[in-house]
Amino acid sequence: MTRSRWRMLLGILAVLGVFSIAVACGDDDDEGDTATQPAGGSSATAAPNTGGAPKGTITIRAIQFESWDPHFSDFAQDISHFYMVNRGLYMLDLQNKPQPELADGMPKISADGKVYTIKLKSGLKWSDGQPIKADQFVAGIQRTCNPDIAGHYEFVLDDTVKGCHEYAAATKDDAAKKEQLRAGVGVKAIDDLTLEITLLEPKPTFTTILTMWPTFPTPTHKVAKVDDKWPGPMESVYTGPFMPSKYTEKNSLELVPNPNWSGAAKPKVEKIVLRYIDDPAVATQAYRAGEIDATVLPAAEFPAVKADANLSKELNQFPATRTFGLAFNQRAGQVGSNQDLRIALSQAVDRDAMNQVVFKGVQTPTTNWMPPDRSGLPLNAFKAEVGFDAAKAKATLAKAGYADGKNFPKLTLLLTDTAENKDLGSFLKDQWKKNLSIDVDLEFVDSKTRSTRYNTGAFQLVIAGWQEDYPDPENWYIGLRETGGSINKEGCSLPALDDLIKKAKTNQNDEERRKQYQEAEKLAVTNAQCNLPLWHVSGLRLVKPYITGMKESKRAGDTFVMGDWNPENWATSKK
């Protein structure tokens, strides 16, 4: 009797166990196709949809946006979302040239270069069918300048559009004064289809600025006042090729074609699913399992993917517009105020070895600040001056007053505490010990602490970089390399560089202006101003072979996949 009862109990448990596994392994009608799709997934593919009715679904790895308000946010993931559902007057093409999007042609610019008159295309509509009008672009620019919105990208308009700075600075003023300042911002609607923007001084890159999210129109039928909160994804209306159809915070956002999209390229897929996955390593596993169609690849997995016969064909590697290097605190009295010392430390770093040891060969070793695509200079243009040369490094350090590393002062390299930075810190420390006989201390802190110390000058040396906001050389210099510039955190100062930047800033001769920035690049790097470049970042993305239209454009927006600012070009042949 006892034995039989135990057998019965175990029998019930066994049946439950088998049932659970059977259910677990059964078909899942909702997502079975996706879940069981093998990596490569070419068995169920046909010709990609390049025209006709949209078809298919593309699921990509994305990161949850922080803010849905284009006039407030500066997060890269937010910006990628914005371009999928919103568009402004102009849009950058694949060569990074601004092309009319909602505007009807390029702007008419006054002879003095200060007044831009822009016509809108007629018949433009928001996704809910309401007309898009010029005064909504006025409201958009005013909203970015609004001190109560506290837009993080206000700086692109601050010293550019007349009255924007005064309005943005009016944080303590009363409502009446703010209203007066709002009305004083140099943007007005001449009629429903005509917009006029007045600048403080000529800005050759202003049409490019008009491709950016801080200038997107405000749907005034949803955001009535300049202080009103921007609606959430399901409540807002859109000017872009897609619009949200379902949203679960931190889980996913589903996009469907906007029926009122006016652009020439019509969406080719029925649905885009942005699956929010924080950890890129998890996303890579989901990609391998066929649960998503495209993702960022973490550099640590690059060697394994490259060695994989199938995955290597799905790997896309492209130069991103981001540079990292050694940023010294150059303020008086700091160790980094010694120019020869800065150059010696740069010359002592073997960038090629660093790339192999630390980055598994992913990044592009460099001595350039601007990526070659942006500056027009060859890669590693300043190798002779600041590039790796152990003998030269020793001589430069002697010139700096520390022959053979003797009496070298205490110097601490500040890094964010990540596994990759641990390797990077160790590598650099070894290089300086080996090539200069000096000891540099390493200090690892969390990212917020590092940013605070970097921003407030509480550092000696950090690994720091720059990701461009818009594709123009000026974005690598204005504010960054000028004496007292708002983002000159190293305290660097070179009068000749200041002069060059000042001339280039308003120079309307584009060819001459770009040459001036090339000269600025030479001056900055060879004089070890602010940052001694070490590597340009490479973008790594995995894309299933049945996807077409994801094209990299070498700009900041490609956060999730290549070309995620132009999802209207994406197509899938997966059934």
Partner 1 sequence: MVGYTIRRILALIPLLLAVVTVTFFLMHAVQGGPFDSDRPLNEATRARLEEKYNLDGTLGEQYVHYMRNLANADLGVSFSNDRPVRAIIADRFPVSLHLGLYAFAFAITFGLVLGIVAALHQNGRWDYVTVFLSTVGAALPPFILAPFLVWTFALKLDWFNVLSSDYGPISVTDWSWIWHDMTHLQQMVLPTVALGFLPAAFIARVTRASMLEVLRQDYIRTARSKGLDHFQVVMRHAIRNALIPVLTIAGPIFAGLITGSFIIERAFSIPGLGRSFIESVINRDYGVIMGTTVFFAVIISVMNLLVDLAYAIVDPRIRL
Q: Would you count residue 169 as binding partner 1 (CB under 8 A)?
A: yes
Q: Which amino acid is at 92?
A: L
CA distance 144 to 215: 7
Q: Would you count residue 508 as binding partner 1 (CB under 8 A)?
A: no
Q: Would you count residue 407 as binding partner 1 (CB under 8 A)?
A: no
Beta bridge partners of 543: 294
Per residue, the 3-state secondary structure of 397-417, as one string, reads HHHCCCHHHCCCCCCEEEEEC
Q: Is 437 exposed, middle or buried (0-12, 13-18, 19+ CB in 10 A)?
A: middle
CA distance 136 to 298: 41
Residue spans of alpha helices (H) in 289-369: 302-307, 311-314, 339-347, 351-357
CA distance 279 to 298: 9
CA distance 485 to 495: 13
Q: Would you count residue 158 as binding partner 1 (CB under 8 A)?
A: yes
Q: Would you count residue 282 as binding partner 1 (CB under 8 A)?
A: yes
Q: Are strands 412-416 and 441-445 parallel, antiparallel or unpaired?
A: parallel
C-alpha of 139 from chain center: 26
Per residue, the 3-state secondary structure of 249-293, as one string, reads CCCEEEEEECCCCCCCCCCCCCEEEEEECCCHHHHHHHHHCCCCC
Q: Which of 47, 171, 307, 511 binds partner 1 (CB under 8 A)?
A: 171
Residues within window 335-394 making contact with partner 1, judged by CB under 8 A:
none
CA distance 385 to 346: 9
Q: Which of 400, 442, 445, 523 binds partner 1 (CB under 8 A)?
A: 445
Q: Would you count residue 36 as binding partner 1 (CB under 8 A)?
A: yes
Q: Would you count residue 289 as binding partner 1 (CB under 8 A)?
A: yes
Beta bridge partners of 274: 60, 253
Q: Are 425 and 413 in contact (CB under 8 A)?
A: yes
Q: Which of 12, 13, 190, 224 binds partner 1 (CB under 8 A)?
A: 13
Q: Which of 43, 312, 447, 508 binds partner 1 (CB under 8 A)?
A: 447
Q: Would you count residue 2 as binding partner 1 (CB under 8 A)?
A: yes
User: What x-and-dash track marks residues 454-483 binding partner 1 by CB under 8 A?
Assistant: xx--------xx------------------
Q: Which of 96, 110, 194, 252 binds partner 1 (CB under 8 A)?
A: 252
Q: Which is nearer to partner 1, 37 or 431 (CB)?
A: 37
User: What x-and-dash track marks residues 213-242 binding partner 1 by CB under 8 A?
Assistant: ----------------x-------------
Q: Which of 148, 352, 404, 439 binds partner 1 (CB under 8 A)?
A: 148
Q: Which is nearer to partner 1, 128 or 420 (CB)?
A: 420
Q: What percent of the chain is helix, strand and coil (3-state, nearest 5)?
A: 35, 20, 45
Number of Cβ within a 10 Å radius of residue 135: 16
Q: Would you count residue 309 as binding partner 1 (CB under 8 A)?
A: no
Q: Which is nearer to partner 1, 20 or 310 (CB)?
A: 20
Of the candidate spans 142-150, 185-193, 335-343, 527-535, the one that interacts with partner 1 by CB under 8 A turns out to be: 142-150
Min separation Cβ 542 and partner 1, Å: 14
CA distance 31 to 11: 33
Min separation Cβ 206 and partner 1, Å: 19
CA distance 137 to 363: 40
Of the candidate spans 173-181, 374-382, 402-410, 449-457, the one that interacts with partner 1 by CB under 8 A turns out to be: 449-457
Q: Which residues of this protein are in contact with partner 1, per CB under 8 A?
A: 1-2, 5-6, 13, 20, 23-26, 28-31, 35-36, 66-67, 74, 147-148, 150-152, 154-155, 158, 168-169, 171, 229, 248-252, 275-279, 282, 285-286, 288-289, 291-292, 445-455, 464-465, 486-487, 489
